[in-house]
Structure 1
Amino acid sequence: MQDQEKIITATNLTNCDKEPIHIIGHIQPHGALVVIDMKSYAIVNYSENLSSFLQTKNLSSFRYLNDLFPDDFIIQLKKELEANKTLSTYTFEKGKENFLLIPHVSDDKVIIDVEKQKDKLPSFTFQQQLNNILSQIEKTTSLKETSQISTQLIKNIYGYNRVMLYRFDKDWNGEVIAETKDENLETWLGLRYPASDIPKPAREIFLKQGVRIISDVYYKPSPILSLDNSNLQTSINLTNSELRGVSPIHIEYLKNMKVNASLTTSIIVNGKLWGLITCHHYKAKTVDYFQRQSCKFLTQVFANQINLLDTKKYVSSSKQLETLRKKLMLQMQSVSKFKEALLNYQPNLKDFIDCGGVALIRKNKINVLGGTPLKKEIETLIREHLAKQKKSIYFTESLSSHFASAEAYTKTASGILAISLDANFKDFIIWFRPEIITTIEWGGNPEKNGYVKDGVTYLHPRKSFEKWSEKVAGSSKVWENSEIEAATKLQENINTVLVKKQKEKIKLLNNKLKRVNKELETFSYSVSHDLRAPLRGIDGYARILKEHLNLEKDDYSSHALETIISSSKKMDILIDDILSYSKIGRQDIRRIPVDLNAVVFEIINSSNLKINYPQTQIKAEKNLPKVFADSRMVTQVCANLITNAIKYSQNQKEPFVEIGYKEESKAYFVKDNGIGIDEKYIDKIFNVFTRLASADYEGSGIGLAIVKKSIDLHEGKIWVETKLNEGTTFFFNFGNA
């Protein structure tokens, strides 16, 4: 038989958290183990001590499960496997002893732990004990009281020398928060133990298995063998085995503590490993399977009580915070200035959450209340840390461990709780909590020790567990869940109030805009009526003068009259364009199917091309897709683009205009080979009164502005491709409708 140290390869410091303790390859000898194939029920592996434990000879001749165990067990096992049920235990008698079979599924195999079964406690007595335990735990009103009673009950029932309740912190360090022990033992109450004492693989198994026994740290391991006894089996997953062997590191750890046996149960709250109840004994001690399950049940009762106490605390805190939040809401709704509502009245933001100080940052202004960092430091904190997190709510008890610059103000702001008030992460409310310097009492120096062999440092558990003190700074009081949720609700409330106030401002602006539009309509009428009347008079009398006066010999007067008539015509066109532009958007869009072919034909036909532009060739694509848009605006867009194309290409040798549709870009286009547009003016062509062409080309500079506004109202797009002196192509659509 090989001893434990030879079976398990030593674990070094670099892979301690990856130690494969679930495939350790051996079991503790207070039981035996059989592994069968789930389909054939053939035995594939067994523990070396199986024959002696069951007092069975000729084990090598056994091949199937019914060679070892009663048929009733096999029938029960098959039924439960076929129904995909949790596998049940089975008790059978052999010789003068009772044996308990504890099966469970592991990958494609069934592992069967075999233990000796002691006499059961009479069910009536057990029920009385259980009722008494439940009653005592349910009467507790605090975590301290619940924890202490739980350790007392477990010690009384199971008789271990020391029972401790061990709670994990966020970094998986543990603290003994309750203890019941023999009088002669030194207390470990209040001591802390580093996360390395219970590494990640062990914590993961505790979460899955729930209860773990080590009957004797000086046990002789029983290796798991293959059926032909040819080799050790270290690939079998023993996570849920009751007999799984113990890591040599943990064995040495317990030996250094002078502990001979242990029983550990997991405290699981809301699906997470909250802590452990650990029992130590200073002699070898075995507790049978059903006693261990009872201990597991008691621990679950304790976990439920913790959850209940936490819930009561959470509800009480939430009610207080809810009252304060509602008062802050009323202040925000009744006080016009946001800052005053949150900082100048009672309650204020500092009263809302337990803190040393608070900062309100909005529109690049910082307002503080209570103990906070300097405003420059707050600016840096937001710019270099909070804004980069891109979180609507952010909290930490140790800001300096995430943001090095915060070391300068740990006294006032070791912890922060921040809520964002805008999508750009510039506006915040930040609550600050000061540093709390605490002294932690460790159960021995928490630093890992090791020894070097062949260039590798191997883990060497601590030998001393005497109290070791350490001062811890740079951290604040922990932010409670109720506080975080209250801050989140306040954030929602503030955003609601801000949106409401913004809506009120928009409503006022809309009303103002309506008045302005009404005035614009009045002005438009004035332009169309009051200005046009004298304009017609000027034009009419200028024409009369031209016809009745003999101006053949007076070139100056003749030119002056022509200028008056021409200017009147231009002004009339300008008035028409201004009115057209002002009307767009003041009327509802009425989308209907519009035949672009008919629209284009009408525009071309009304242009009198043969008379006005005899050299211009126009190519209009047939079967242009219909568009679902406002008919009047579609006509305006097409008319402006087509007449512009004709106008600005008329002086070319072979003026050419093309109208069509591009399927790949889902856009109509109007193309010409005219004067083109200088690229540096592309961004300006859609502005009102923008004219980039020379005076040789008539126009008011409003046409393209009308086009852009009409397309924008349809949520469509318009863009241009152009080259100076070579031509221009306008692409456009009227949105997805």
Structure 2
Amino acid sequence: MTSHPSAGQSAEQAVDLTNCDREPIHLLGRVQSYGALLALSSDWLVQHASDNLPAVLGFEVEEALGRPLSELIVSDAMDRIRRNMGALEGRDGAVRLFGIVLRGQDKLFDVSVHQSGRHLIIEFEPKAGPREADVMSEVYPCLNRLKGLNELPDLAREAARGLRMLSGFDSVMVYQFQPDKSGRVIAEDRADGQSRYMGLNFPASDIPAQARELYRRSLLRLIADVEDDGSMIEPQLSLDGSPIDLSLAVTRAVSPIHIEYLKNMGVGASMSVSILRNGELWGLFACHHDSSRYIDYERRTAIEMFGHMFSYEISRQEESFRLKAQDESGRMQTALMANLAEGRGLSETLFSVSRDIGRSVSHDGMVLYLDETFTATGSVPTEEEFRKIARMLDTRAGPSVFASDSLSRLLPDARDYMNRASGMLAIPISRRPRDYLILFRKPIASKVNWAGDPAKPATLGPNGTRLTPRKSFEVWTETVEGRSAPWSVQDNHVAERLRIVLLEIFLKITDAANGERKRAQEQQQLLISELNHRVRNILNLMRGLVSQSSSGARSLTDFTDSLDGRIQSLARAHDQLTSEKWEPSSLKALIHCEFEAYAQAKSARVLIDGPDAMISPAAYTTMALVLHEMATNSLKYGALCDQAGRVEISLRQDRSGGLNIDWVEKGGPPVRPPSRRGFGTTILERSIPHELQGDAEVSYKTTGVEAHFRIPPRHIDRIRREDDDSRDATPQPALSNMIRLSGNGLVLEDALIIAMDAAAMLEEMGASKVAIASSVEQAMQEIDRDPPAFALLDINLGAEQSVTVAERLHALGIPFVLATGYGETSEIVESYPPARMVQKPFSIETLAVAFSAGPD
């Protein structure tokens, strides 16, 4: 192997370890002397032959070139080769024939046939003695000893012993490739009982890249004698000027550099058997002999099968790791889901099972990087340091688990904190931009023993500037810093299973959150539209209520009582719509409430037939919207807009348990369908199908609007008897039976008009004077100056709440009532001293009831 330095470089400076990777070891143009080679054209004519053909087959190279193979070997052998060519499959396939006669004598040969480009390569190895009776009978006992061994060191040690028995070599090592392509001897069996290379490491340059690729394609390689110069192939080049590719040739000669390397080790013969895992090179059986040693092709094939079975045992062992990891992840998934079911967040959930993760994959620290939020425990980088790791992972790592025992090799800045975190096992748990669960390990004090100095010196030799194989294989110790214990195959399996579990959970949470967010946005838009719609309606309605009440009132008192009653009816309907504590409620009561609030005397022209139904809160909310639209439309445009029309509402239960509501308007003015589809139309036609999965149909007939609605059975709590016409209304006691107040009062309310109205009500109930305060500070000053006999406190004062005032009044023994527009929630009840509550808008009757009842 030669190299040409560029200008300004010395010979040594121009050489690097990639020179070995560029050596064309598959194009050497020679074979080892123990076998002969013929290269045939597609029509079976000999185009190339090794120059040891006379010694192996008994005829000269010139005699063979250009002739058909059928003229060089006996017809039986030719027929057997042709018959077996059907077994030649794939790019790396080969036909193997053992113990066949090629010439007229009784001499036996082992034959290998494979395709190399446009050449058919046939190799012949003469058997040194009679064909072995049953070489496979020696293999099976060795294979049986591998079964049941579940730890890699035990498996490798037994395999090395078995292969040495099968091959007869002085030494057999199991050589495992590491992630950086260096190799480590994990088992060694020697005839002298000694241990020479066990536990030592060999640099990646000892087995260059193209050699590793040949080991992957051709699974057994015999070098019978390091002193063998080999036999040249004639002619050296094909007609197109290229040498024959000998990548798969079993007799392929050996690179001079590799021969020198073996001699430096004191090896006379060697054999390598590839160990594959999932089609990739996992390691090698490296067999060495102090002197030359040839093993015939049939026995080598049996040894190759032994290597296959060892590869299978490695895969089986890793499969057991995967199954164990699956069991571990299953337990973790159960724990995770249990925590999530209790309402805990993903971050809290993961850290709650950190001990379970630690039992499966040992680590010193853990980081969860979720939505760019950093959460950590144990020995880990800081948040600022970690963000550089996350950026590096996003650019360099893929969607699978990523492991490194030396973070500083990937990220130079990691040297600053390698005493806290040197090893990293990154588990991506989302799509890009990725979120990660990362396990960290502290560094370990480590010394790596190499079989000689791993640096290959470049020297000038007889063939020009080249890399000379190292001559010393004495133990060379390297002190390693900034590296953690390596992540094992089992660690990676557990991490991969955990990644799948977390990804499923994360995606479910994300999908659920996105779905909830979308539903919330849709609901928000619906509520905003409904709010705008109702505010406008309420403003118009208030004008109508004032107008209607004033036109029919005989006195100011009659007017105010009538108007106040209608406002209270509206408030009850609003409470029914927005309360969060509903139990199943009466549909008939809801219908009555809507018409009583809006229709006044016209509600007598609303006829309801059929049994009442107690419907769920969800259905109650939806039906309140629908009935509001139907009632207001009837009052504005339909049967109730004049003096003669009526509304007939029929309630009936169908066979499936659902409730049918038939709405028929009669006697009103002629109906015209709406000229445009507004929000109200959408409420009528889509609310019940969308929210309840029920049915809705509205027809605008000339004689009157007709509508059909159906509430599904799951929203029906029960059906009441037809003679039970209770409206679930709480009767208001007469004012004459209620408490009469005396003394001074206090109203704490930030809205002046509401405060003045409340003060007037309290004075009407008997208060001599009522002070008004708009803030907690003003109220406290009023109490200090002139303690009241009673008080009415608004709960929400905008930027503050009245709880401090309530506590002061409670301490002084002064009775008070709370006013709120939110409803009597548990949060309010728990934060305030015992007190009665009234809902806004309140009336003199509701205030009197609250003050007469006293605190809860």
Q: Please, what TM-score do these two structures have when normalized by structure 1?
A: 0.66
| 1:179-258 equivalences in 2 (<5 Å) | 179-183=188-192, 187-226=196-235, 235-258=243-266
5+ residue gaps, structure 2:
3-14, 548-675, 687-856
Cα distance in 1, alignment partners of residues 369 and 195 from structure 2: 54
Report the secondary structure of 1:335's partner residue.
Answer: coil
Contact 1:263 1:280 in 2 (8 A): yes
1:303 to 294, 307, 311: 311
Report the secondary structure of 2:440's partner residue.
Answer: strand
Residue 34 of structure 2: aligned partner: 30
Cα distance in 2, alignment partners of residues 581 and 230 from structure 1: 86
How far did residue 114 of structure 1 move? 1.2
Cα distance in 2, alignment partners of residues 268 and 372 from structure 1: 36
1:457-515 per-residue CA deviation (whole Å, 9 max, x = no partner) reads: 41100100011111223333315222233123213213313432454465456556545
Cα distance in 2, alignment partners of residues 33 and 141 from structure 1: 43
Report the secondary structure of 1:23's partner residue.
Answer: coil
Cα distance in 2, alignment partners of residues 338 and 496 from structure 1: 11
Residue 261 of structure 1: aligned partner: 269
Residue 54 of structure 2: aligned partner: 51
2:507 to 495, 502, 509: 495
Cα distance in 1, alignment partners of residues 101 and 30 from structure 2: 25
2:123 aligned with 1:113, yes or no? yes
2:327 maps to a residue whose letter is K
The alpha-carbon distance between structure 1 residues 588 and 468, as it changes in their structure 2 partners (threshold 3 A), is farther
Cα distance in 1, alignment partners of residues 332 and 238 from structure 2: 73
1:527-580 per-residue CA deviation (whole Å, 9 max, x = no partner) reads: 666669999xxxxxxxxxxxxxxxxxxxxxxxxxxxxxxxxxxxxxxxxxxx99
2:327 aligned with 1:319, yes or no? yes
Aligned residues: 537
1:144 to 142, 153, 162: 153
How far did residue 220 of structure 1 move? 2.1
| 1:714-729 equivalences in 2 (<5 Å) | none
How far did residue 354 of structure 1 move? 2.7
Report the secondary structure of 1:188's partner residue.
Answer: coil
Cα distance in 1, alignment partners of residues 309 and 414 from structure 2: 43
| 1:53-68 equivalences in 2 (<5 Å) | 53-56=56-59, 59-60=62-63, 63-68=67-72
1:71 to 64, 70, 75: 75
1:360 maps to a residue whose letter is L
After superposing the two structures, state which structure 1 stretch, 333-342 or 524-533, moved more: 524-533
1:395 to 398, 402, 408: 402
How far did residue 402 of structure 1 move? 1.8
Report the secondary structure of 1:343's partner residue.
Answer: helix
Higher relative contact order structure (alpha carbons within 8 Å, sequence separation ≥ 6):
1
| 1:178-577 equivalences in 2 (<5 Å) | 178-183=187-192, 187-226=196-235, 235-344=243-352, 353-382=361-390, 384-389=391-396, 391-393=398-400, 395-397=402-404, 398-420=406-428, 425=433, 427-452=435-460, 457-476=465-484, 477-478=486-487, 479-504=491-516, 507=519, 510-511=522-523, 514-526=526-538
1:254-291 per-residue CA deviation (whole Å, 9 max, x = no partner) reads: 01111111111111122111111111111111100001
The alpha-carbon distance between structure 1 residues 475 and 53, as it changes in their structure 2 partners (threshold 3 A), is same
2:114 to 100, 104, 117: 104
| 1:683-694 equivalences in 2 (<5 Å) | none
Q: Please, what TM-score do these two structures have when normalized by structure 2?
A: 0.57
1:276-308 per-residue CA deviation (whole Å, 9 max, x = no partner) reads: 111111111110000110110111111111111
Cα distance in 2, alignment partners of residues 455 and 225 from structure 1: 24
Contact 1:226 1:232 in 2 (8 A): no
Contact 2:51 2:61 in 1 (8 A): no
1:104 maps to a residue whose letter is H
How far did residue 20 of structure 1 move? 1.3
Residue 101 of structure 2: aligned partner: 92
How far did residue 221 of structure 1 move? 2.1
Cα distance in 2, alignment partners of residues 389 and 242 from structure 1: 40
Contact 1:224 1:234 in 2 (8 A): no
2:39 maps to a residue whose letter is V
Contact 1:350 1:357 in 2 (8 A): no
The alpha-carbon distance between structure 1 residues 252 and 385, as it changes in their structure 2 partners (threshold 3 A), is same
How far did residue 157 of structure 1 move? 2.5
Contact 1:13 1:457 in 2 (8 A): no
The alpha-carbon distance between structure 1 residues 252 and 532, as it changes in their structure 2 partners (threshold 3 A), is farther
1:418-459 per-residue CA deviation (whole Å, 9 max, x = no partner) reads: 345665637543322222332111111111122147997411
How far did residue 412 of structure 1 move? 2.2
Contact 1:267 1:277 in 2 (8 A): yes
The alpha-carbon distance between structure 1 residues 510 and 287, as it changes in their structure 2 partners (threshold 3 A), is same
1:629-672 per-residue CA deviation (whole Å, 9 max, x = no partner) reads: xxxxxxxxxxxxxxxxxxxxxxxxxxxxxxxxxxxxxxxxxxxx
2:121 maps to a residue whose letter is I
Residue 733 of structure 2: aligned partner: none
How far did residue 47 of structure 1 move? 0.6
Cα distance in 2, alignment partners of residues 421 and 99 from structure 1: 59
1:219-270 per-residue CA deviation (whole Å, 9 max, x = no partner) reads: 122110129x999986101111111010001000001111111111111122
Contact 1:32 1:49 in 2 (8 A): yes
1:385 maps to a residue whose letter is M
2:384 maps to a residue whose letter is K
The alpha-carbon distance between structure 1 residues 367 and 92, as it changes in their structure 2 partners (threshold 3 A), is same
1:111-159 per-residue CA deviation (whole Å, 9 max, x = no partner) reads: 1111111445654x54542332222111423222221111112222221
How far did residue 310 of structure 1 move? 1.6
The alpha-carbon distance between structure 1 residues 422 and 521, as it changes in their structure 2 partners (threshold 3 A), is farther
The alpha-carbon distance between structure 1 residues 521 and 421, as it changes in their structure 2 partners (threshold 3 A), is farther
The alpha-carbon distance between structure 1 residues 48 and 127, as it changes in their structure 2 partners (threshold 3 A), is closer
The alpha-carbon distance between structure 1 residues 375 and 381, as it changes in their structure 2 partners (threshold 3 A), is same
Report the secondary structure of 2:95's partner residue.
Answer: coil
Contact 2:328 2:360 in 1 (8 A): no
After superposing the two structures, state which structure 1 stretch, 42-51 or 483-492, moved more: 483-492
2:23 aligned with 1:15, yes or no? no
Backbone CA RMSD of aligned residues: 3.6
Aligned-pair identity in percent equals 26
Cα distance in 1, alignment partners of residues 118 and 54 from structure 2: 25
